[in-house]
Structure 1
Amino acid sequence: MKQLLPLVFLFLAFQVHAQINIHVVDQQTGNSLKNVRVKAGNSPIVNSNSEGKITLDFTESTEIIFALEGYETLSRNFEPGDHEVHLTPISINLASVTVSAFESERPLLEQSSAIAIVTERDFNRFNETSIVNSFNTKPGIRIEERAPASYRVSIRGSSLRAPFGVRNVKVYWNDVPFTAPDGTTPLNLLDLSNIRAAEIIKGPSGSIYGAGNGGVVDLRSQAEPQGGKISTDLMTGSFGLSRYRLALNQPIGNGGIEASYVRQKSDGYREQSAMDRKVFQLGGLFKASEAQEIRTQLLISDLNYQIPGGLNADQVAEDPTQARPGSVEQNSSIAQQSVYASLGHLYHFSNATSNNTTLYLTTTDFENPFNLDYKKELSYGYGGRTKFTINTQLGGKDLRLIAGAEYQTSRTEAQNFGNRGGVADTIRFADKLKASQGFLFQQAEWQGSKELLITLGLSENFSSFEIDRQIDASGGPIGLQKRTFDPILVPRLAFNYRINESSSLYSSISSGFSPPTIDEVRTNEGSLNLDLEAEKGLNSELGYRLGKDRLNVDATVFYFQLKQTITTYTNEQGVVLFRNAGATDQKGIELALDYTLIQNSDSFFSNLQIGTAFTGHYFKFKDYQNNDNDYSGNDLTGVPPNNLITRLDLRTKPGIYLNFTHQFTDEIPLNDSNTVYQDAYNLVNLRFGWAKWLGTSWELEVFGGVDNLLNESYSLGNDLNPFGGRYYQPAPTSNWYGGIKAAFNY
């Protein structure tokens, strides 16, 4: 018996040590957090007690997930023993948030560029039908929606050459180049549920991302698996709006899969503005070992939306809901079915060296009956991106080296027909199109001192396109025509100076370029403008960031000089054409300020945040003469000089919340001569609801809201320099929405 006693004590001691004891506290206040939902391995969800403590019986390292309303979800591995876990309040603090801009994961305070972050919290402040409202709360960014699902993205005025679609901005989705090699981006194929977060780099970023003077939009939907979940959303609203979503998150080993299906429909505010979009997404994340990770994505999107067209001032005054004459009869619309598939691989050769590679395939079937013609396109493309990261030292200081490459190519069978009552008629011309672009990039980040980080980047860019005309009913020449742009070197030099733990200064000088897209060279009436030159720009900026306690400040001033600026004009038939317009001077200031007034999970008003975002874009034509007209010194077309956003977000302990947003947009010049302006307007949006966990497994939210609460008359996406004065695309008047969300966690 005496011999057994030591074994018994040893067994009991092992059992005590085998437990994982955790104390959960608020990162800012140090207060204990009760009722934190804790998911460990395959065990059921349990809650922390009134002292913020929990004990779990595990004998080995285990991944544990912590979730509490008002706090960021945390997922980490824990060994048996005693631990203290700090949960971060959901309000973003610039001193703690990490971003991956310029392929370098660093805290935002160490980044040396103007970056805006959009999170699910931003998306959930609005109706969740599009990215427009959430992105537009960030300084320097303006997304226009001329009709449901018809987007234009403007980062520092970059939509000047985009009469429709998204151009001059590079977009990535889960490491996949979502911008096609011809320079266009089908952003409307994505539902908002396909985006969890976005990082927007403002200004030329070609040293790492290639063509595009506007900037980069990096969209993410994948996240670390955080337990099993089945969820669904239902929503309805004005103008025939309906939306439903069904999703599944299923952990598998050290990874998991995500699947979702979303359908959104609306009749639209205007005649001929209905929309119907169906999106299926399947993603996988698999950790083959501690050294490597495999990611997969499949996106299938079926989009149909009508195009009401622009109106002149008299037509808007008569009836802003009417379509442009002829749009209904010709069924002006777009039908687009696309498939994206990607495979990504992350491999750590050592703690200091890694490689991240993503390959993708895509195919698209596109039809566009328009007032003047009928376009059909069938295309496929492929490409990939790879980067190597090496962490080493130079002169006893940390040095991070990044090198990689990106390549894309696409082939398109494009046919343009006459349009007879919405049906394709006699063929007018047909082309085989090929677009290719690629670049090599290198970047060095040297920690010259504890405070100073120096970044030097450089890319070598190559792009070309081919137009092989097969048919020209007008008797014009047929055959192959090519345009290869000279290789372009794009450098960037940047500095970040860390003033203290909560603030920093940064500055950068970067160049950029943007070749014309095929749609700008090959226009709808059949002409080819092969002489159109690439835009080239030089950007200088200086910024300051502060992230202290509950206050965030992010301020930037910049000066961007653009040469060979591409602008639009419209001929007598209403066809949009393009031309190089000399040079522009673009000076600006962007300021974001956020303050958390209340952050206390135990009080009735558990969270109250206010914020403001100011954009001052003072852009001028520097040297622009069109025939006998000299527009030098005029305001840049389509850019409001001042924009001010004010936000208020309130959450209560019972789960009731309120989101209020006010947006002031200054008057906008609509033609190069600055003789026509859209009036300034004030837009007010409101969302309210109740969201709560029921027990440890169920999440429930009931919500409603009103957009354009003041019933303002405005145009969200004007036509620039149009023929016949058709400047205006009237946006919806005051409208409501409401819905319910439910999720079961297992």
Structure 2
Amino acid sequence: MKTLLRATAGLLACTGSGVSLAETSPTEPAAELAPLVITSPRTSSRWLTSPAAVSAVQADQSQGEQNLALDRLLAPVPGVFSQNRYNLAQGLRPSIRGFGARGSFGVRGVRVLVDGVPLTMPDGQTELDGLDLGLVERMEVIRGPASVLYGNAAGGVLAIETREPPATPYSFFDLSTGGLGYRRARVETGGMAGNLGGVLAFNSTVLDAYREHSRAETNTLSGKLRWYSDAGRLGLTFNAIDNRAEDPGGLTAAEVRGDRRQAAPNNLAYDADEHIRQQRLGLVWEGFGPGADTYQLRSYIGQRQFGNRLAFPNGGQTTFDRTFAGVGAQYSHKRELFGLAHTITSGVDLEAQRDDRRRYNSLLGTRGDETLRQDEKAASSGLFIQDEIALSEAWQATLGLRYDRVRLAVDDHFIRPTNGDDSGSRTLRDWNYSAGLSYRLDEHQSLYGRLSTSFEAPAVNELANPAGGGFNPSLEPSRALNREVGFKGEWPGLRYDLALFSMTLEDELIGFRLNDRNYFRNAGASRREGFEASLDWQFADAWRLSSAYSYSRFRFEDYRTAGGDFAGNDIPGIPRHNLFTELGFERASYYARLNMQAVGGMYAEDANQVSVAGYTLWNARVGKRFEAGGQVWEPYLGLDNLFDRRYFDNVRINDNNRRYFEPGPGRTLYVGMRATF
């Protein structure tokens, strides 16, 4: 804790918030900021006085991006660390204050929503492969436990908002190409007709990537319909994807020294890959109640077909057909009680999924005998209530309480004399609470403190028993208690945010590999302490500086396995230091940005015997807009890893074959052209 306090004192004078500033014209002074309003805490509230660590990111401040993964938008948010940008078979793995770092693929421990509808599955897993990044307009990030608001697996929250239908109809196409065999074609159209508006987009991307056996093809069709009335707004969203990606696997340190671009031998021999088809439909009604009351009704339904080939023979191919659905409702009531203004929000969430999962032996990439056939089910329900209380003109309090129930079940349909019935179920219940208090020092600055909890239940496939069939009887959900204090400031042209937190976790879920498969176990107790600071400063008409820094001291306090006692060791997969800084210049007709990300060293496994060196990457973006033939044209260029630094794009935590490393590419160029009609 003393180290954290020293880090805080050294950075107080030069850091601030990673939230958005208003655009400025090339001939006028920098536009003044309107007070930032956030909605991810379930109600609309003023960012400055909200007693929580929340960051907001505007996509229009990232022009000329390749939009390959969400990590570029997340980079200006302190406390967030992303890995695995280039291996699309595994997917981007972002973590918030360490939540999400344990997953071997996709997003774990973090709740993700798109336009108010959960992208996270009912069992707590999230895949970002269906998100069209070209549609993203804004994103809010709740840093730290938020289970009171969003239930299971809400160690942090990404609330993504996509483009709304504009009053003026438009159409555009965007073509880009570059190194690593990158090609992308994207078209989008939208507009309004009376009270009805819509947006439709198609995106197709091909990437050969840096390493052998890394080719990926993604195709996404996304749309949105909006109907507006005096009573509220109805939103319909739909999304369909058809993706295929090869998996090059992890390398040993010796293989990295021999050839950084090679694939793991077994990944080549077994043609490791995955293919996904998914369709998803969401419906949200946002209505107005009596007086200043508001309410929301939401629902979604979808299906996902998945198949993969892994790099081992026994049960090395998996398929599942998944159906998933959910409904939810919330109501916000404003009234005066005991002479104080209250905003009371209560709601319910109900979700369910069912997987028809099958597993087969892999005969060097071809399908062999069936080894598993089972139905996997997950159902979750949650009830919550939150009260925002204006104690005075300067003081604001927020109190919340939630109850969740998660039921996980397996029906085994592959029963043999040598393989008994592994059917079973587990029901997990948890109460979570949150209490926050903020004090407005003056018109521009505020202090806050917050106490909050979260829980994370194992997903169905994470309950696999390393000792044999059925559920792992010893695996428990993880629970966290977060304490934090923060300091925020907001002026025209400047926002900053400082946060200091300390977190204790019981039964933290830790991934490990055994016989080429991923399993999970609990660490008895662990502690996370950290400091976060960010700054967004429009210091001249066309110039902007953004910066975010995180110091993370995450360690095990009680954790013993057959491999040893790891108490006192750092939790692997999280760097101690993470710094992002970007300098941007923008006029009406052109823009340029230069950014730097410096990542400190970390460990690859629980024993802390294998260290991963830190790195610093520089990236540049330039673009120009001009009119010709009645259209607006925008050629743009991006250069990643400007100084050709060697680094690891991903670290596979606790790999039993010591294949921890996935090298990232060197200097990479891409160019594109966008035309708007």
Which of the five TM-score ranges fits, normalised by the shorter chain? over 0.9
2:15 is aligned with 1:70: no
Counterparts of 1:419 and 1:229, CA distance in 2: 49
Question: Which residue matches 2:74?
Answer: 135
Counterparts of 2:204 and 2:563, CA distance in 1: 51
Structure 2 portions without partners, runs of 5+: 1-21
Within 5 Å, which residues of 2 pair with 1:62-461? 70=24, 93=33, 96-124=35-63, 126-145=65-84, 147-149=86-88, 150-223=91-164, 225-287=166-228, 289-372=229-312, 373-461=316-404
Most deviating of 412-421 and 190-199: 190-199
Question: Which residue matches 1:56?
Answer: none
Deviations 1:7-62 (A, max 9, x none): xxxxxxxxxxxxxxxxxxxxxxxxxxxxxxxxxxxxxxxxxxxxxxxxxxxxxxxx
After superposition, the Cα gap between the structure-2 partners of 1:726 and 1:210, relative to the gap in structure 1 and judged at 3 Å, is same
Question: Which residue matches 2:662?
Answer: 729
Counterparts of 1:350 and 1:368, CA distance in 2: 52
Report the TM-score, using the length of structure 2 for normalisation: 0.92
Deviations 1:282-310 (A, max 9, x none): 210101x2112211011111111111100
Deviations 1:640-673 (A, max 9, x none): 00111111001235x2321111111000111111
Q: Does the residue aligned with 2:41 lie in a helix, a strand or coil? A: helix
Question: Which residue matches 2:559?
Answer: 624
Q: Any conservation in 1 of the 2:79–2:550 contact (CA below 8 Å)? A: yes
The amino acid across from 1:541 in the alignment is E
2:515 is aligned with 1:580: no
Could you list the runs of 4 or more consecutive aligned residues of structure 1 that deviate by over 6 angstroms after TM superposition?
none
Question: Which residue matches 1:49?
Answer: none
2:460 pairs, out of 518, 538, 541, with 518
Report the TM-score, using the length of structure 1 for normalisation: 0.84
2:575 is aligned with 1:640: yes
Counterparts of 1:484 and 1:88, CA distance in 2: 59
Counterparts of 1:729 and 1:339, CA distance in 2: 31
CA displacement at 1:213 relative to structure 2 = 4.9
CA displacement at 1:428 relative to structure 2 = 0.7
Counterparts of 2:516 and 2:273, CA distance in 1: 16
Question: Which residue matches 2:9?
Answer: none
Q: Any conservation in 1 of the 2:572–2:603 contact (CA below 8 Å)? A: yes
Question: Which residue matches 1:738?
Answer: 671
The amino acid across from 1:560 in the alignment is M
After superposition, the Cα gap between the structure-2 partners of 1:194 and 1:328, relative to the gap in structure 1 and judged at 3 Å, is farther
Q: Any conservation in 2 of the 1:176–1:384 contact (CA below 8 Å)? A: no
Deviations 1:76-110 (A, max 9, x none): xxxxxxxxxxx99579x4x6121102111112102
The amino acid across from 2:120 in the alignment is T
Q: Any conservation in 2 of the 1:538–1:561 contact (CA below 8 Å)? A: yes
CA displacement at 1:237 relative to structure 2 = 0.7
Counterparts of 2:373 and 2:195, CA distance in 1: 51
Counterparts of 1:680 and 1:620, CA distance in 2: 18
Q: Any conservation in 1 of the 2:270–2:311 contact (CA below 8 Å)? A: yes
CA displacement at 1:126 relative to structure 2 = 3.1
After superposition, the Cα gap between the structure-2 partners of 1:261 and 1:160, relative to the gap in structure 1 and judged at 3 Å, is closer
Q: Does the residue aligned with 1:236 lie in a helix, a strand or coil? A: strand
Counterparts of 2:164 and 2:642, CA distance in 1: 35
Q: Any conservation in 1 of the 2:355–2:376 contact (CA below 8 Å)? A: yes
Question: Which residue matches 2:425?
Answer: 482
User: Matched residues, percent identical?
Assistant: 26
Counterparts of 1:490 and 1:201, CA distance in 2: 16
CA displacement at 1:71 relative to structure 2 = 6.1
Counterparts of 1:722 and 1:474, CA distance in 2: 33
Within 5 Å, which residues of 2 pair with 1:487-502? 487-502=429-444
The amino acid across from 1:276 in the alignment is E
Q: Any conservation in 2 of the 1:700–1:741 contact (CA below 8 Å)? A: yes
Deviations 1:158-186 (A, max 9, x none): 13420112111111111111110111111
CA displacement at 1:611 relative to structure 2 = 2.2
Q: Any conservation in 2 of the 1:687–1:706 contact (CA below 8 Å)? A: yes
CA displacement at 1:254 relative to structure 2 = 2.2
After superposition, the Cα gap between the structure-2 partners of 1:320 and 1:472, relative to the gap in structure 1 and judged at 3 Å, is farther
Q: Any conservation in 2 of the 1:304–1:336 contact (CA below 8 Å)? A: yes
Structure 1 portions without partners, runs of 5+: 1-67, 73-86, 600-606
Question: Which residue matches 1:24?
Answer: none
After superposition, the Cα gap between the structure-2 partners of 1:413 and 1:557, relative to the gap in structure 1 and judged at 3 Å, is same
Counterparts of 1:103 and 1:669, CA distance in 2: 37
Q: Any conservation in 2 of the 1:122–1:134 contact (CA below 8 Å)? A: no
What count of residue pairs does the alignment treat as equivalent? 649
Q: Does the residue aligned with 1:647 lie in a helix, a strand or coil? A: strand
The amino acid across from 1:316 in the alignment is V
Within 5 Å, which residues of 2 pair with 1:549-588? 549-571=492-514, 573-588=515-530
Counterparts of 1:295 and 1:463, CA distance in 2: 28
CA displacement at 1:339 relative to structure 2 = 0.6
After superposition, the Cα gap between the structure-2 partners of 1:447 and 1:88, relative to the gap in structure 1 and judged at 3 Å, is farther
After superposition, the Cα gap between the structure-2 partners of 1:174 and 1:628, relative to the gap in structure 1 and judged at 3 Å, is closer
Q: Over aligned residue pairs, what C-alpha RMSD do you find?
A: 2.0
2:607 pairs, out of 673, 677, 694, with 673
CA displacement at 1:146 relative to structure 2 = 5.7
Q: Does the residue aligned with 2:652 lie in a helix, a strand or coil? A: coil
Bigger-Rg structure (1/2) = 1
Counterparts of 1:413 and 1:469, CA distance in 2: 10
CA displacement at 1:191 relative to structure 2 = 2.2
Counterparts of 1:249 and 1:389, CA distance in 2: 32
Q: Does the residue aligned with 1:223 lie in a helix, a strand or coil? A: coil
Counterparts of 1:281 and 1:706, CA distance in 2: 28
After superposition, the Cα gap between the structure-2 partners of 1:107 and 1:691, relative to the gap in structure 1 and judged at 3 Å, is farther
Counterparts of 1:97 and 1:523, CA distance in 2: 48
Question: Which residue matches 1:595?
Answer: 537
The amino acid across from 1:622 in the alignment is E
Counterparts of 2:569 and 2:461, CA distance in 1: 27
Q: Does the residue aligned with 2:528 lie in a helix, a strand or coil? A: strand
After superposition, the Cα gap between the structure-2 partners of 1:562 and 1:474, relative to the gap in structure 1 and judged at 3 Å, is farther
Q: Does the residue aligned with 1:208 lie in a helix, a strand or coil? A: helix
CA displacement at 1:69 relative to structure 2 = 6.7
Counterparts of 1:629 and 1:479, CA distance in 2: 30
Q: Any conservation in 1 of the 2:130–2:239 contact (CA below 8 Å)? A: no
Most deviating of 125-134 and 726-735: 125-134
Counterparts of 1:389 and 1:677, CA distance in 2: 49
Counterparts of 1:362 and 1:616, CA distance in 2: 39
Q: Any conservation in 1 of the 2:551–2:576 contact (CA below 8 Å)? A: yes
Q: Any conservation in 1 of the 2:31–2:492 contact (CA below 8 Å)? A: no
Deviations 1:293-328 (A, max 9, x none): 211011111111111100001101111111111212
Question: Which residue matches 2:446?
Answer: 504
Question: Which residue matches 2:488?
Answer: 545
Counterparts of 1:713 and 1:613, CA distance in 2: 23
CA displacement at 1:678 relative to structure 2 = 0.7
After superposition, the Cα gap between the structure-2 partners of 1:123 and 1:302, relative to the gap in structure 1 and judged at 3 Å, is farther
After superposition, the Cα gap between the structure-2 partners of 1:354 and 1:651, relative to the gap in structure 1 and judged at 3 Å, is closer
Counterparts of 1:476 and 1:438, CA distance in 2: 33
Within 5 Å, which residues of 2 pair with 1:645-656? 645-652=580-587, 655-656=589-590
Q: Any conservation in 2 of the 1:429–1:473 contact (CA below 8 Å)? A: no
Q: Any conservation in 2 of the 1:429–1:526 contact (CA below 8 Å)? A: no
